[in-house]
Amino acid sequence: MIQLCNVGKIYANGAPALHDINLKIPSGDFVYVTGSSGAGKSTLLRLLYCAEKPSRGQILMGGRNTTRLNSRNIALLRRDIGFVFQDFKLLNNRSVFENVALPLQVQAVSKQEIGTRVYQVLQYVGLEYKLQRKPLELSGGEQQRVAIARAMVVNPRLLLADEPTGNLDHDLAVEIMEMFNRINESGTTVLIATHDQEMLQRFPRRSIVLHDGNIVADSNPPAPEPAQEIC
Amino acid sequence: MERLRYFFQRTMFSMRQNPLLCSATIGTVAIALMLLAFFTLIVLNIQNLAREWSRDIQVVVYLDQVPSEQKLQEWMDEIHQYPDIEQINYVSQQQAFDRFHARLGQNSDLLEGLMPEILPASLEISLTESARSRTGTERLIELLKSNSDFHNFRYGQEWLDRYDAFIFLLKLTGTMAGGFLIFATLFIISNTIKLTIYARRDELEIMGLIGATPMFIKTPFMAEGALQGAIGAAIALGGCHILYYFFLKNGLAALLTTATVENIQFLPIEYQGGIILLGLFLGLIGSLLPLRKFVRI
């Protein structure tokens, strides 16, 4: 469960980014954070993975107040979170295998287990045959799948994605969204910041709409109408 | 073990991946430390020379009468009780006359017809190295004065004052210039490593995102800095040795006119080890300083 209580964020230059945000995201949920550019979507995500501290309010994740964590505990918290970004954030001088193995190396997982888990997750995203390639030798969609594999290799409880389809064409975006759905079905909480309305309509889920740092809507998709029996 | 292997592999990989930046850092360290090693070499040789000069610092006690062997032994025993005494040398009237004769050289015939008794016998007292100063000499004279047989002394006051001033100046210059060179080296190394880290800031960000602790992120960079520092220091020593062998040895001998080429020495092994350690330490600190700014989780 993620809970935000009266969270506000004002940047050091005085620019307000979020106002009085109250939010509850149950475990296993799939949530979109949407809104126009500058609405505060990325700031909300940055607060969730502790890249920023809120100017006021509390953020609870799994019962822990993340605003009071020191840098070591923040690092430990992030081991339970997977990240996917619009610009992939891959290390271009390392192979696909090395990029995906990185979170496991950080957690001092044994070499044998790293090999097994990285191969499995690359199979999951369909890139097991490109594990020796460097990211820049791959297409945008493939790079994003590597980023997803890196996020998934640690079996995170939460997956945060910031505009994950922003750099991809329509077909690749659909492919990536389908992958997020499958990840969510396996029990991972997924939170995606996006302004891609087409994806929101194609994969309808709970949507939190931000505008000028305020939540202006928080809605679930309409339940599918029950099929009428024809007598 | 896995973690150690990872750090070692990352350090080596990173140095291979960025050969240009790596060479720039090593080169900067080498040049900066070569200046420092060169300076140390000069100061050390001047200190050695000063130590040689200081052997001449001695107190001469002129004796009114030639002492009996028993009396002489009594005095020697008494003086040996005083602190910081290195050596006591009795110079008889004949020895003093011979020395004077030798010193006059071609004019020694002026002494013809004169007897050795015209010169007094004396005791030449040398002090240990730490006491070879005006203070140490005056302390000894105070002690000697407690014996009524000793009242005529010579210890080259002016020369001692000049020697003390020279040693003070040498220490002051050495400390100030050495300190300045170390800080300048640290500043240069820190800025060069900052460039390396800046070029890899994406990697730092990604490492932070995937749950690496600050120490885990910093360690390979610090190891890289330390290794580059040590390699740079080794190159600096090599360069300094070449300079010493081909230029400095003869140059210094000519500059410090009283020394022969053989007296000009290269840095002793403990100083060489010290410079390698200094390079390692400067590389470590030089990388730690910019890392504090860039690694923020």
Element (H, E) at B61: strand B58-62
Residue A228, pLDDT score: 56
Sign of CA dihedral B125, B126, B131, B137: positive
The token pair that represents B44 in the structure block: 């050390």
Residue B28 distance to chain A (closest CA, Å): 25
Nearest to B160 by CA among B143, B181, B145, B139: B139
Using the CB atoms, write b or e for B67-95: b if 16+ within 10 Å: beeeebeebbeebeebeebeebeebebee
Residue B264, pLDDT score: 76
Segment B229-242 shows an average pLDDT of 93
The complex's ipTM works out to 0.85
Residue B20 distance to chain A (closest CA, Å): 15
One-letter amino acid for residue B78 of the chain: E
Whether pTM > 0.80 for this model: the answer is: no
Q: Are B271 and B40 in contact (CB under 8 A)?
A: yes
Residues of chain B with CATH 3.30.70.3040: 58-154
Backbone angles phi, psi at B73, to 5 degrees: -65, -40
Residue A226, pLDDT score: 62
A103 closest CB neighbour out of B210, B214, B297: B210
Task: Indicate which of B210, B218, B294 best probes the interface with A, i.e. most A CBs within 10 Å of its own CB.
Answer: B210
**Between these two residues, B93 and A207, which has the higher pLDDT value?**
A207
Question: Domains plus CATH for chain A?
Answer: 1-80+156-216 (3.40.50.300), 90-155 (no CATH)
Q: List residues of B whose CB lies inside 8 A of any A CB.
A: 2-3, 6, 17, 202-203, 205-214, 216, 296-297
Nearest to A150 by CA among A47, A68, A81: A81
Q: Is domain B58-154 classified as CATH 3.30.1370.60? A: no
Q: Is B112 exposed, middle or buried (0-12, 13-18, 19+ CB in 10 A)?
A: exposed
Q: pLDDT per residue over B59-73, tens digit each?
A: 888 888 888 888 888
Residue A82, pLDDT score: 93
Q: Please, what is the end-to-end C-alpha distance for chain A in angstroms? A: 45
Under the banding of pLDDT at 50, 70 and 90, the label for residue B257 is low
Q: Which of A54-63, B131-140, B151-160, B185-194 has the highest mean pLDDT?
A: A54-63
Q: Is A3 exposed, middle or buried (0-12, 13-18, 19+ CB in 10 A)?
A: middle
Segment B112-123 shows an average pLDDT of 80
CA angle B11, B13, B14 (to 5 degrees): 65
Q: pLDDT per residue over A102-119, tens digit each?
A: 999 888 888 899 999 999
**Between these two residues, B58 and A4, which has the higher pLDDT value?**
A4
A103 closest CB neighbour out of B2, B205, B211: B211
Any idea which of A25-39, B214-228, B250-264 has the lowest mean pLDDT?
B250-264
Cα–Cα separations (whole angstroms), residue B72 to B76, B78, B83, B205: 6, 10, 19, 83
Q: Are A71 and B213 in contact (CB under 8 A)?
A: yes
Segment A129-152 shows an average pLDDT of 92
Helix (H), strand (E) counts: chain A: 7, 10
DSSP character string of B275-291: HHHHHHHHHHHHHHHHH
Q: Are A188 and A160 in contact (CB under 8 A)?
A: no
Under the banding of pLDDT at 50, 70 and 90, the label for residue B150 is confident
Residue A100, pLDDT score: 95
CA gap B87, B125 in Å, rounded: 6
One-letter amino acid for residue A137 of the chain: E
Residue of B nearest to A106 (CA): B212
CA gap A118, A149 in Å, rounded: 8
The SS3 call for residue B273 is: helix
Residue A214, pLDDT score: 92
Under the banding of pLDDT at 50, 70 and 90, the label for residue B255 is low
Backbone angles phi, psi at A4, to 5 degrees: -115, 125
Neighbours of B236 (CB within 10 A): 26
Q: Do A89 and B2 touch (CB under 8 A)?
A: no
Q: What share of chain B is helix, strand, coil (3-state, %, to 5)?
A: 75, 5, 20
Neighbours of B188 (CB within 10 A): 17
Using the CB atoms, write b or e for A36-68: b if 16+ within 10 Å: eeebbbbbbbbbbbbbbebeebebebeeeebee
**Between these two residues, B107 and B285, which has the higher pLDDT value?**
B285
One-letter amino acid for residue B11 of the chain: T
Under the banding of pLDDT at 50, 70 and 90, the label for residue B13 is confident
Residue B169 has pLDDT above 50, yes or no: yes
Residue B148 has pLDDT above 80, yes or no: no
Nearest to B272 by CA among B12, B41, B1, B30: B41
Residue B199, pLDDT score: 80
Residue A231, pLDDT score: 43
Any idea which of A145-154, A219-228, B181-190, B262-271 has the lowest mean pLDDT?
A219-228
Residue A152, pLDDT score: 92
* Interface residue A70 vs chain B (CB under 8 A): no
Helix (H), strand (E) counts: chain B: 10, 4
Segment A64-82 shows an average pLDDT of 91
Segment B25-49 shows an average pLDDT of 85
Residue B91, pLDDT score: 86
A75 closest CB neighbour out of B17, B203, B212: B212
Residue B104 has pLDDT above 90, yes or no: no
Task: Indicate which of B2, B209, B216 best probes the interface with A, i.e. most A CBs within 10 Å of its own CB.
Answer: B209
Q: Do A71 and B214 touch (CB under 8 A)?
A: yes
Segment A136-153 shows an average pLDDT of 92
Beta strands in chain A (DSSP E): 2-10, 16-25, 30-34, 56-61, 64-65, 81-85, 158-162, 189-193, 206-211, 214-219
Q: Are B140 and B62 in contact (CB under 8 A)?
A: no
User: A110: which chain B residues are within 8 Å (Cβ-Cβ)?
Assistant: 2
Q: Do A83 and B6 touch (CB under 8 A)?
A: no
